[in-house]
């Protein structure tokens, strides 16, 4: 085995980045070569992704990356672009936070009851699941003209290679995949009126996904051939593949724009109790299942900071989190799992209103509001970790936190306190690492074994452990606050 460099394109809802990973049999070093903002744009009343700006960011990043053995692309889930008969993109992809899917779940329920939908897909109800987005687009001229549907990372891969595919981990977020067969569900597609022929063939993490097109080589200054390799193209699949766990008894929380909190399982949990608890069974790399719940995540804080006209730089986080850390714990708490916080805008006011409705004090100023958000996230993390263990009948003794939230020490400490378990924090760029690791395995640089990757990461990454401290409320106070949030659901 010889060392090689790989490029990971990781498009998050907050920013896109291109990272390179230098991988040897016993080493994996990640370097950020380009980061660019991801700014959604509202036109004609619809919230869109600025997909061409993102693609330009990818090209700029690949130019800076220099020679690589392969490229892998991952991004946020559920969203897609439609191609016409000439392979041209029809309109800008719509953002999952757009309100167009309102009422769509009810419409699908008329042909397929929610219980059956869950039994076939194991997917939690989220208003923006692709199946509902397609329901909302049903009578559009765009969908009528569409000959292919490409999920976001598959669209970027297509623009890089000219090759079309549907990567499985991300396909599992459409709510059209059956997690038992790991293939399309004809039953759901028929009930929802979705022609599965729109989707290019399924491919799996590690599969070859084409080579950079001549025009891309020109644009990036790279010498061909440069292969593109399918990775866990759902960013959360890649992030969980890079959780540096030492044993199987772990829960993870991927904290970025979202908090995705749960367990890695060998089989889906499709019980009615699991459906009612709104747990999802997304597909992971190596035949795993990501059993988790979506929590609003640091989006709550991001949106507050946007309304305070703060750009979210480390210099702005530092004083805000210091002040928030000195506030009274658990004074104001909201349900950070509530989809009422999904849409953008007026976030501090909406959080204040939710506190008032729950009979709790309205948080005061930015520090008070930030503290309310972080206490609320910690409680939602605890509820998800607790419920996942009960529903999947497993026990864990550590919680791994990965993603941008690793930079937020207060959130990591509060999560340890809320869960009553040690939190191992890191890496912050887990999705990019998981992306690189899958490429390195596919190209034979490291052994083709998920456990090996996790051990390698555990041995080489700077990780920080937070023990439950009691400094931010006693175990009884956390239990009481968590019970109150649960009771309000």
List of residues contacting ligand LRH (CB under 6 A): 12-13, 76-78, 96, 234-236, 257-258, 260, 294
Of residues 259 and 369, the one with the C-beta less far from ligand LRH: 259
Q: Helices marked H in 43-103 — which ranges?
A: 51-65
- Rounded to whole angstroms, the Cα distance separating 308 from 302 reads 10
How many whole angstroms separate alpha carbon 437 and alpha carbon 10? Answer: 13
Residue with smaller CB distance to ligand LRH, 134 or 226: 134
Instruction: Tell how strand 423-425 and strand 259-265 pair up.
Output: unpaired
Q: How far is the CB of 179 from ligand LRH (least distance, A)?
A: 15
Structure tokens at 436: 């690189």
Catalytic member of 178, 235, 286, 387: 235
Picked from ligand ADP, ligand LRH, none, the partner binding residue 294 (CB below 5 to 8 A depending on kind) is ligand LRH
Residue 112, SS3 per DSSP: coil
Rounded-to-integer distance, Cα 407 and Cα 393, Å = 32
CB of 425 to ligand ADP, least distance (A): 12
Residue nearest ligand ADP, CB atom distance: 404
Of 7 and 13, the one with the shorter C-beta distance to ligand LRH is: 13
Element (H, E) at 90: none
Q: Which one of ligand ADP, ligand LRH, none interacts with residue 200, CB within 5 to 8 A by kind?
A: none
Which residue, among 33, 71, 41, 36, has the nearest Cα to 57 in the 3D structure? 36
Categorise residue 84: left if φ over 0, alpha if ψ from -120 to 50, beta otherwise. Answer: beta
In the list ligand LRH, ligand ADP, none, the entry touching 96 (Cβ below 5 to 8 angstroms by class) is ligand LRH
Q: Pick from ligand LRH, ligand ADP, none: which does 161 bind, CB < 5 to 8 A by kind? A: none
Closest distance of CB 38 from ligand ADP, Å: 7
Least distance in angstroms from the C-beta of 208 to ligand ADP: 26
Beta carbon of residue 299, minimum distance to ligand LRH (angstroms, whole number): 10
Query: What does 158 interact with, of ligand ADP, ligand LRH, none (CB < 5 to 8 A by kind)?
Result: none
Nearer to ligand LRH, 167 or 235 (CB): 235
Residue among 46 and 460 whose Cβ is closer to ligand LRH? 46
User: CA 266 from chain center: how many Å?
Assistant: 20
Reply yes or no on whether 323 is catalytic: no
Q: What angle (nearest 5°) sits at the alpha carbon of residue 416, between those of residues 414 and 421? A: 160
Structure tokens at 72: 């892998």
Residues that bind ligand ADP (CB under 6 A): 12-15, 256-257, 298, 301-302, 314, 317, 403-405, 407-408
Residue among 104 and 321 whose Cβ is closer to ligand ADP: 321
CA nearest neighbour of 413 among 474, 472, 343, 456: 472
Distance CA 154, CA 165 (A): 6
Question: Which C-beta is closer to ligand ADP: that of 210 or that of 405?
Answer: 405
C-alpha 456/C-alpha 482 separation (Å) is 36
Residue 25 tokens read as 């049999």
Contacts of 363 (CB under 8 A, 6+ apart): 331, 332, 351, 352, 355, 369, 371, 372
15 binds, among ligand ADP, ligand LRH, none (CB under 5 to 8 A by kind): ligand ADP
199 interface partner picked from ligand LRH, ligand ADP, none, CB below 5 to 8 A per type: none
Helix (H, G, I), strand (E, B) or coil at 69: coil
Q: Which is nearer to ligand LRH, 123 or 437 (CB)?
A: 123
Least distance between ligand LRH and beta carbon 217 (Å) = 29
Beta strands 423-425; 398-402: pairing state = parallel
Nearest to residue 102, comparing CAs of 21, 26, 37, 46? 46
The binder of 408, among ligand LRH, ligand ADP, none, by C-beta within 5 to 8 A per type, is ligand ADP
- Tell me the sheet residues that pair with 290: 264, 282
Instruction: Determine contact, residues 271/391, Cβ cutoff 8 Å.
Output: yes
Task: Give me the active site residues, please.
Answer: 235
């Amino acid at each position: 085995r010889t060392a090689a460099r790989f490029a990971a394109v990781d498009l998050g809802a907050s920013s896109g980045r291109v990272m390179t990973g230098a991988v040897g049999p016993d080493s994996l070093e990640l370097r950020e070569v380009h980061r660019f903002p991801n700014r959604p744009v509202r036109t004609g009343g619809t919230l869109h992704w600025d997909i061409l700006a993102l693609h330009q960011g990818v090209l700029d990043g690949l130019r800076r990356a220099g020679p690589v053995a392969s490229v892998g692309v991952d991004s946020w889930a559920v969203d897609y672009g439609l191609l016409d008969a000439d392979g041209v993109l029809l309109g800008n992809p719509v953002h999952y936070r757009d309100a167009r899917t309102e009422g769509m779940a009810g419409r699908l329920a008329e042909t397929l009851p929610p219980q059956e939908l869950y039994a076939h897909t194991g997917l939690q109800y989220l208003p923006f699941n692709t199946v509902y987005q397609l329901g909302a687009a049903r009578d559009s001229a765009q969908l009528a003209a569409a000959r292919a549907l490409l999920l976001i990372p598959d669209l970027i891969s297509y623009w890089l290679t000219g090759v079309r595919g549907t990567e499985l981990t991300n396909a599992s977020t459409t709510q059209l995949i059956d997690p038992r067969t790991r293939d399309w569900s004809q039953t759901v597609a028929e009930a929802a009126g979705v022609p599965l022929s729109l989707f290019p063939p399924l491919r799996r993490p590690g599969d070859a996904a084409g080579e950079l097109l001549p025009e891309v080589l020109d644009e990036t200054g790279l010498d061909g051939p440069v292969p593109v390799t399918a990775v866990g193209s759902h960013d959360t699949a890649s992030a969980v593949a890079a959780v540096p766990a030492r044993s199987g008894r772990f829960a993870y929380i991927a904290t970025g724009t979202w908090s995705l909190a749960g367990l890695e399982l060998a089989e889906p949990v499709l019980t009615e109790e699991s459906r009612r608890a709104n747990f999802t069974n997304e597909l992971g790399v190596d035949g795993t299942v990501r059993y988790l719940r979506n929590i609003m995540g640091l989006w709550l804080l991001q949106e507050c900071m946007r309304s305070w006209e703060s750009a979210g730089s480390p210099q702005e986080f530092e004083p805000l989190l210091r002040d928030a850390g000195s506030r009274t714990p658990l004074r104001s708490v909201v349900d950070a799992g509530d989809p009422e916080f999904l849409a953008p805008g007026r976030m501090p006011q909406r959080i204040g209103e939710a506190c008032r409705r729950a009979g709790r004090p309205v948080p005061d100023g930015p520090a008070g509001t930030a503290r309310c958000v972080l206490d609320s996230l910690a409680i939602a993390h605890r509820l998800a970790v607790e419920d996942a263990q009960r529903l999947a009948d497993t026990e864990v003794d550590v919680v791994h936190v990965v993603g941008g939230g690793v930079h937020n020490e207060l959130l990591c400490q509060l999560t340890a306190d809320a869960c009553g378990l040690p939190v191992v924090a890191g890496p912050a760029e887990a999705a990019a690492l998981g992306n690189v690791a899958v490429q390195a395995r596919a190209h034979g640089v490291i052994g083709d074994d998920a456990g090996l990757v996790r051990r390698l990461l555990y041995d080489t990454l700077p990780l920080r452990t937070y023990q439950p401290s009691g400094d931010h409320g006693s175990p009884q106070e956390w239990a009481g606050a968590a019970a109150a949030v649960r009771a309000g659901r």
